[in-house]
Structure 1
Amino acid sequence: MRGTARLRRNRGAALWVAVVLCVALAAGALAWRAALSEIDARLDQNLILTLRSLETEIDRFRYLPKVTGEDARIRTAIRQPYDPAAIAAANRYLERVTELAGASHLYLMDAEGRTLAASNWQLEESFVGRNYSFRPYFRQALEAGAGGFYAIGVTTKTPGYFLSARIEAPGGVVGVVVVKVDLVPLQRAWEAAGQATAVADADGVVFLSGVADWLYRPLSPLGSDALARLAAQRTYLEADLAGAVPLLDAAGGWMRDGAGRRMRAGRVGFETDWQLVAAAPLRPALMAALGWAGAAALATALGLGLAKIQRQRRQLVALRLRQSEMLEGQVEIRTRQLAQEIEARREAEAELRAAQEGLVHSEKMAALGRMSAAIVHELSQPLAAMEAVLAAAGISIDAGAPPEKAATRIETARSLIRRMQRTTKHLKSFARKESGTLEEIDARTVAESALELVQPRARAVGVLPRLEPGAALMVRAGRVRLEQVLVNLLLNALDAVEAQPQAEITLRLSEAEGVARIEVCDTGPGILPEDLPRVVEPFFSTKTQSEGLGLGLAISQAILSEFGGRLEIASRPGEGTVMAAIMPRAVTEMVREVSA
């Protein structure tokens, strides 16, 4: 079953991929054809504009040879080719006409092709005396009356278009006038405009182009006859036509110049053997085709995905309807389980809270146990003294002593009773359990009560803790719990200084920036650095003979945390220990200070 389902899913996925690919290929092909058609239209328009500019440039000089040949100075130079004066007059005339017309060169040839006069007669590359009968434009003029030919100048080594016209006399042909037109400015304009435009001759050799790499390269491979003819005519001089790579591929529609261009060609109207070539890059067409293919694939995939989602949604709705009863039953069962878990958690929290309170109370009782011997001594001593005083009072009464003497002894007994009452009062207050509520209390009063509680233990050790004087310090805490913290700290200090000569314990209260600080400082042996981080851990103790549970500092820290405070311990071996209970001051006290 699983194998069949997997095979079915794979077939469905393959079908979807096939549909998406087919749509993408169709859209890409249509976009490619449309882009090529648009490129061809632009290229055709470019060909028309290029043809118009080329015709305009050449038509400016088309009739200049014919008109020049009608001048008397030209005809005189043909009739008298060895007359220096006639030749000089013809040279100056040709030079002036060239300057006014803006042509490149203008020169006169006799019937044998020898140049008689030229516009560049004064320059080193003068045409005068040179024979150009091998040029096609000379034979065309003799045979047809006019000619045109594009070539690189043999003398000047610069390209140009040569227009020729025959000069006739009653006795027959007497000479030919030729004007050379410079078309390089037109080529530079194409280059500046970024136009991939070119003009090729009858053999397909490009002689004008807006792309420098196309110059003097054939559109198609040249035959041996064409290469021989072009070499004989010296059309392109040193250009390596035989080794040049053709510009077009075998199909004739693509440029092979490495730029991936589309080509269009057309004939020049005034020169039927010339070809105009225009090309455009195919990258935009390719990007458009890819874009349309991608968009079509994405749209098809989205459509198929939405259809699948819709079908799956209907299936899910049906599945949910079938599962609703099962889910309701499971929810009901889970609800009952959660209620039981909540109740069990509440009971566990109550037991934990009771255990914590019991632990705190146990530690408090342990502290009382640590002070029991001293407390018994504190109570037994006044009792013995009171018994002796009362006995003495009874004897004095029996002996008939004055009443004042008996009254004095009775008052002494009463003071001893009050002393025991104070001790028991502190013990009862310390031993009772306190609610978890916080109130604003005077930390100094609590500190005094704690000192009273540890007095029996202090007298047994032989060191009386000293409370530094100062004003009241209000904090928000529980009175009994704070008293328990201070008793724990004082008992730890007393344990530390026991059997220490000249030991001191100081209780110091201070405040700064809204924080109250109660420090218990002793001059005991201190705490080892390796033990200092662990002294607040439960059941950890460095006192091997102690009767405590090892929970005093851990419980003190937990109590201070409930007050929003903390316990800080600083100690150096041999210098003593400072344990500080730090907690926030009461808000009302701070408000009173700000108001004052």
Structure 2
Amino acid sequence: MHLTRPRIFGLIAVIATLLVLAGTVSFPALERHYMRQQAEKDAVPLKLAVEGLRAAVDRYAPLPALIAERSTLIDLLNNPDDAALVAAVNEDLRQTAATVRASDVYLMDISGLTIAAASYREPGSFLGRNFNYQTYFTQALNGALSSFSVYGTTTGERGYFYAAPVEDGERIVGVLAVKFNVSAFESIWRGANSEFMVADRNDFVFMSSRPDWHFRAMRPLSDATLRLIAQNLQYPIDRIELLPITVRPLDADARLVTIEGETRETYILTAQRLADLDWTMSSLSPLGPATLSALRSMLIAGLTGLLLLGALLAYLLKQARQTEALAREKEAKRLLEAAVAERTTDLETALGDLRQTQTDLIQAGKLSALGQMSAALSHEFNQPLAAVKSYADNAGAFLDRGRVAEAKDNITRISKMADRMATISAHLRNFARRPQQATGPLLLNAVVQDALAVIDMRLTSEGGEIAYTPPKSEIWVTGGHVRLQQVIVNLINNALDAMADQPERIVDLRIENTRLQVRDTGPGIEHDAIANIFDPFFTTKAPGKGLGLGLSISFNIVSDFGGTLSAANHPDGGAVFTVTLQPATPMEVAAQ
């Protein structure tokens, strides 16, 4: 389907809408994931807080029994009217409370009346108060160690009480109680990243880092529970309120709670049970960080999606531009092809004329070369002919004298002379004939040998030498035998012409792979002439010495073979012409 720009923008809008919908749907699950992570993180500080609370509570547990062993307490219980003994025990208990950092240490007789207390100097002292209604008193009076959390009805302080019986022999004569203030823990919890609360078995909050949560129940309390609290004066019954809390489970160890108040607050709650104390301590971490983490992840995902959408949009627009450009190109091509079709016939006719002209020029160049070698040609044929006549006359004379063997020898010499003239004639015929246009694989050394045979006549007439060592292995190249021979003859003739004024004319001919080099030791090529040396009718020879077509024709011939012809000056003097041909395999069939 072809995507136009409106379709592309529509597709991007649909994808963006789907991404927004996917983000909206997946956000609650992502937020829940970060809630669980936050709960796992909160488990560590909660565990530390629980261990700290337990250690502090356990630190006071053995104190009542240890203090109850003091003999002065027994003496006072047996003599409660001894004023000096009362004063001594009060001061002793005051110093003990200061040492162990207890809120109060007090002594009660078996009726529950407090007869000595560490807080005897304070206005809210327990002296004279009766606590026989307290559970910790009744349990201790029955001979058991006891503990109890309670709101101090006398001092107004929230405390935790430990009690132990005071024994005189096997007889219990009183109860010693130790109270410590729980607000010290809350001061430590305040300032943490999470809020902490401690609730009893009835989910009644009696300790918390938030004062407004004190003495608030997390669930409605039954009438029986309220009556028990009022009976034991465990908490201020007039201050008990319901904490408006909504709980939703996140997993087995964490819950999401919402507390209604002046403001609506949502927390991630992680709880740990203190079974021996029958308490539950909870850590409440604000929901905000988990929500921010989820939003951050969604933002990153959204930005990533925007980048991908931007990249997709850019890619599709690029494809659309390319498609449009291709359509325009096809239309332009169609128009161009229509215009070209109108000119094709004229161009084909002109190209045919050009090829014919090139063929005629090549042939004219060959005939010109043959004309230059006419004197050598005359010598090459006249000398064998004169020898043939002499050998024929001698053979006749030998036959007349009956000297048959000598006559046969002269006839053999005549045959060799005839073979020599036939070889010269074959080289000239091959050189002069019009070449075919087809190219194919051919042996480079064979072409060079035929060219040297043609040029040998000029060397015999004018003098000169070709320095050439055939390659050790056969080299196959792509070309036409006759046309490549013409190129080599032209390059050697030009090299000989360049050394016309030198006493020794030596042309260096070398083959390296499919590259053939022809070098002379003449004056070289002028720098300005190198760029134009292969142009038609460009020549550096004197007027009348050449038309300037040889190198141009040779250049075009080599180009037809898929090769190159270049010219340069040799560092040691003279010019170097290099023919580089395409390699060929001998299995191909050459069509000359």
- Tell me the TM-score normalized by structure 2: 0.50
- Tell me the TM-score normalized by structure 1: 0.50
